[in-house]
Amino acid sequence: MPHTNYQLSCAEMDQFRKQGYLGPYTLCSPDEMRNMQPEIEKVLKTDAPDHKVREHNRHLDHRLIHEFATHPAIVTRMAALYGPDLLLWRTNFFVKEPGAKEIPWHQDFNYWPLEPPIIISAWIAIDAATLENSCLQILPGSHRKVVPHVKATSEMAFNQMGDLGFIDTSSCVNLEMQPGEFVLFNERTLHHSDANCSDKRRIGLAVRVIVPIVKVLEWDAPLHELVVIHGEDAVQFNTR
Ligand SMILES: O=C(O)CCC(=O)C(=O)O
């Protein structure tokens, strides 16, 4: 994996503040990611030690997923945006096989047991993510207001969705990515992906990182724990 200067310019910091997302950036080359796909597929076919869902928190039991989530290309940039002390809370694979449902427009903080809900996500393309196989889409600047969430319709992959009466999708950005690229976005940035109407699978890995003052109100599983990925956890609010 290439090691370069992952510091952010003032223009990038400003973009994250104003638009709520950054990237795509490179974590590894498309060929490197393609070579790792069989190992990732193996992870997704095995049960996690104590999580019911195979897609969740595999950084806790699998070295490769831990390496993705703690890669300096991600962590250095997150530290530039959120300060030096960062804790890895969750990782989630989003596997969209052909025919997979639409993921509705939503703001992540609406769903999560965190107080205050301050979080930054990296979304890493494991497969190529294109408009054809339902790449992530984002609404720049949408993190500046809270949108009400309502019961989702049956064609959606989630139970709740952002109320479309409050969402103007005309400025939507399609985050098409090569395998090994990633984007960063925050807990309020509205994002979405269409139903996968292609014959191509699309896997992404979301990496969720909090700062130490955030209290985790519910844990995903008995062995779920935070991992210090940069700096330190001086306040220890989440000692279990
Ligand atoms: O992978 C997707 O299509 C959606 C991802 C998502 O909702 C998230 O990372 O919060």
Q: 3-state SS of 110-165?
A: HHCCEECCCEEEEEEECCCECCCCCCEEECCCHHHCCCCEEECCCCECCCEEECHH
Whether residue 240 is predicted with pLDDT greater than 80 in this model: the reply is: no
Which residues are registered as beta bridge partners of 129? Answer: 177
235 in any annotated domain: no
239 in any annotated domain: no
Q: Which amino acid is at 174?
A: N
238 in any annotated domain: no
19 in any annotated domain: yes
Report whether residue 220 contacts ligand 1, using a CB cutoff of 6 Å: no
Report whether residue 193 contacts ligand 1, using a CB cutoff of 6 Å: yes
What distance in angstroms lies between residue 104's CA and the mean position of ligand 1's atoms?
A: 9
Helices 72-82 and 10-19 cross at an angle (nearest 10°) of 70
Domain membership of residue 47 as a residue range: 10-230
What distance in angstroms lies between residue 14's CA and the mean position of ligand 1's atoms?
A: 24
Looking at the structure of the chain, the number of domains it has is 1
Q: What is the arithmetic mean of pLDDT over 26-35? A: 98
The whole-number pLDDT of residue 49 equals 86
61 in any annotated domain: yes
Whether residue 3 is predicted with pLDDT greater than 80 in this model: the reply is: no
197 in any annotated domain: yes
The whole-number pLDDT of residue 5 equals 82
Mean pLDDT over all residues of the chain?
95
Q: Residue 163's domain is classified under what CATH number?
A: 2.60.120.620
